[in-house]
Amino acid sequence: MPDGGSLWIDISVDSQSVIILIGDTGCGLDETAKSRIFEPFWTTKGTLAAGTGGGTGLGLAITHGLVNMIGGTISVTSEVGKGSCFRVTLPRPDTP
């Protein structure tokens, strides 16, 4: 959020899942970005090699893979100019 804004996190639990919402009031994502956000090496931030202080495009791709590996899901909703919200749903571990 280069121009400031708010970041929030909400965690809830039901009988089968742990649901984590991570949202912000940043610049948001357009439809192209939303459709590609979990692809390896795709980034909205420019590349480190270009000297822009960008990223590798691996963070959300790795997160997506790990969440899926443990049986969860991750998705994003976003609106340009209003912000984004990531929803991570994880299976609740069995408790004795």
- Give the pair of three-digit tokens for residue 30: 């357009």
Which domains are delineated in the chain? 7-91 (3.30.565.10)
CA distance 29 to 49: 23
Q: Digits of tens for pLDDT over the chain (96 positions)? A: 777 889 999 999 998 999 999 999 998 999 999 999 999 988 877 655 555 566 788 899 999 999 999 999 999 999 999 999 999 999 998 754
Q: Give this prediction's pTM.
A: 0.84
pLDDT given for residue 57 in this prediction: 85
pLDDT given for residue 64 in this prediction: 97
pLDDT given for residue 1 in this prediction: 73
Instruction: Annotate the chain with three-state secondary structure.
Output: CCCCCCEEEEEEECCCEEEEEEEECCCCCCHHHHHHCCCCCCCCCCECCCCCCCECCCHHHHHHHHHHHCCCEEEEEEECCCEEEEEEEEECCCCC
Question: Could you tell me the strand order of the sheet in which 7-13 lies?
Answer: 7-13, 17-24, 83-91, 73-79
